[in-house]
Amino acid sequence: MWLMLAFVVAASAVNVRLSVELNTWNGQFYNALQKVDVPKIYDALGDFVVLVAAIVVVIVCAAYVRKRCELVMRRDLTFLMFEQWLSKDSMMYRLRESIHEPDNPDQRIAEDIRDLVDLSVSLSLSLFSSVLTIGSFSVILWNLSGSISVFGVDIPGYMFWVCLIYTAVETLVTHLLGRRLKHLNYEGQHREADLRTSLIEKRLYADAIAGVHGEHADKTSLKKKFNDLMGLLVQKIKTERNMDFFTVSLNQVTSLTPIFFALPSLFAGTIQLGGLIQIRQAFVRVDRSLSWFARFYGSLARLMATYDRLSRLQHRIAQVEQARKALSDRIDQTTEGLDADIAIRIPNRNRNRPLNVTMTVNPGEFVALTGASGLGKSTLLRTFAGFNDQFEGKLARTSSFMWLPQKGYLFKASLMANITYPSLPDAFGEAQVTSVLKDVGLEYLINSLHEERQWDDCLSGGEQQRVLLTRALLHQPKLLMIDEMTSALDSASAHRMVRLLKERLPQTAILFITHQEEVRGEAHRTYSMNDYYVA
């Protein structure tokens, strides 16, 4: 990447040098035209072909290498964010469950990194080129413009000073007209991402929406989100319109401004037509370079908004990581099982005192946890898994655990990849996976092991739960915490799954939240939860 970046920087320097040569060529060519010097005119045309060919090669090669460099930079930054967001400490989930999650972190990674790299590289290179251009063409502008007397004071290189004043006014007015763009860009990115997320949700829950004929409500919600976005975009367009009135007018005037101020030198005979053309080109070049801030004001506003979104995401990740470390220090590590004597506060519950929990799950035990819906059984499992810090007391568990929440995770890939998750497909032999599928009663899916589908759309609720349980059978954790993972199965199938877990995981401590009698009947012990304690 660094070699590519060095090549692009060097190409920018070469391009500026070629621009200087082209400016010199213009002076020679138009002087020859003024004198009708035919031999010099034809010589100049030959030089022009060589110059243009060199400029084309440099620009095209630099653009190609720059785009390759941007891809590498985007890959490295994206992978870095993957490491932080999808860390082994489940940062993605911790961030979502905390109060610190910024909006749409997935789209910040996918889109904002792309924009950050593209804008950073292009703006940095254009700034570098502008600095070189100022250094190169300011000398030309100074030398060619000579001096002028104003109120009896001789001003050397007066065209250079005219260019400075001209550019300063241009930059100041542009800033005053466009200073709201950073906020508008930031908020616009937020609302665009929010709209995309809402559209994705509608597709994911299409069956639930269709089942209750909720299309009108969702359509109304989407229209409101789009109208909010449209209102902000209108503000942005108006701001850009005001800037365009000024910048477009200025662009029309800039090409004639240097000629107007250089006319005294032309009339005095100190410069020829070629010199006038050189002054005009040098003035425009210096003006464009000095007004870099004004010309790229919109891009700079986008860059600042994009950087702000990504830096806030990283800041939030750092905050959650600190909280994770503090929580980790409060959970003792044991070689096996679970031992808890804690008082836990359940969110969204109006209790005068916390929930007191005293529970032990030893290796080889199958322990059931029951209680009315909404009491906090799922929150208790989240606490045992290390994702909730709202507790006091002693909590010890093995680091080799698996927690299966109510909402399972199946994704678009082969069935083999879904079954062996979180390991990679080659972590287990096909014979092992085939055997487990037979054990859970899904032998009819064996021929589909290597088919890539959106499996949560292809399988019924009961089939999905059996696929999810195969993960525990393959990985054999020392502690398995299951949240109603047989709720979609009939009584006979649920009973069969529980017996299968007990037989195949004889050394695993299993804690199972359930409302099913046939599951509770297989438990060595059953804990019951009410508003204030688990016993």
- Domains with residue ranges and CATH for the chain: 2-324 (1.20.1560.10), 335-535 (3.40.50.300)
Is residue 141's pLDDT more than 80? no
Is residue 351's pLDDT more than 90? no
The structure tokens listed for 131 are 């600095």
| Least trusted range by pLDDT, from 275-289, 375-389, 483-497 | 275-289
Q: Checking DSSP bridges between strand 153-156 and strand 479-483, what pairing results, if any?
A: unpaired
Percent of the chain clearing pLDDT 70 (strictly above): 97
For residue 68, the model assigns a pLDDT of: 92
Mean pLDDT to the nearest integer, 166-179: 84
Is residue 39's pLDDT more than 90? no
Q: Checking DSSP bridges between strand 366-371 and strand 525-529, what pairing results, if any?
A: parallel
Specify the pTM.
0.76
Mean pLDDT to the nearest integer, 386-405: 92
In the sheet that holds 391-398, the strands lie side by side as 331-334, 391-398, 338-344, 355-361, 533-534, 525-529, 366-371, 509-513, 479-483, 401-404
User: pLDDT by residue (tens digit) across 197-238?
Assistant: 888 888 777 767 887 778 888 888 889 989 999 999 899 898
Is residue 297's pLDDT more than 90? no
For residue 259, the model assigns a pLDDT of: 76
Mean pLDDT to the nearest integer, 406-433: 91
Here the contacts of 53-59 (C-beta below 8 Å, separation 24 or greater) are: 54/18, 55/15, 55/18, 55/19, 55/22, 58/11, 58/14, 58/15, 58/18, 59/11, 59/15
For residue 26, the model assigns a pLDDT of: 80
3-class secondary structure, 4: helix
Query: Where residue 152 falls among pLDDT bands split at 50, 70, 90?
Result: low
Mean pLDDT to the nearest integer, 333-357: 82
Is residue 115's pLDDT more than 80? yes
Is residue 350's pLDDT more than 60? no
Query: Where residue 96 falls among pLDDT bands split at 50, 70, 90?
Result: confident
Percent of the chain clearing pLDDT 90 (strictly above): 36
For residue 349, the model assigns a pLDDT of: 62
Contact criterion met (CB below 8 Å) for 487 and 468 = no
Query: Where residue 464 falls among pLDDT bands split at 50, 70, 90?
Result: very high
CA dist 73 and 113 (Å) reads 9
Query: Where residue 434 falls among pLDDT bands split at 50, 70, 90?
Result: very high
CA dist 470 and 415 (Å) reads 12
| Sequence-ordered list of residues with C-beta below 8 angstroms from that of 8, at least 6 positions apart, any chain | 62, 65, 66, 69, 125
Select the highest-mean-pLDDT range: 99-108, 123-132, 293-302: 123-132
Calculate the CA dihedral of residues 264, 267, 271, 277 and round it to 10 degrees: 80
Is residue 157's pLDDT more than 80? no
Mean pLDDT to the nearest integer, 59-84: 92
Q: Name 155's bridge partners.
A: 148
Mean pLDDT to the nearest integer, 506-533: 90
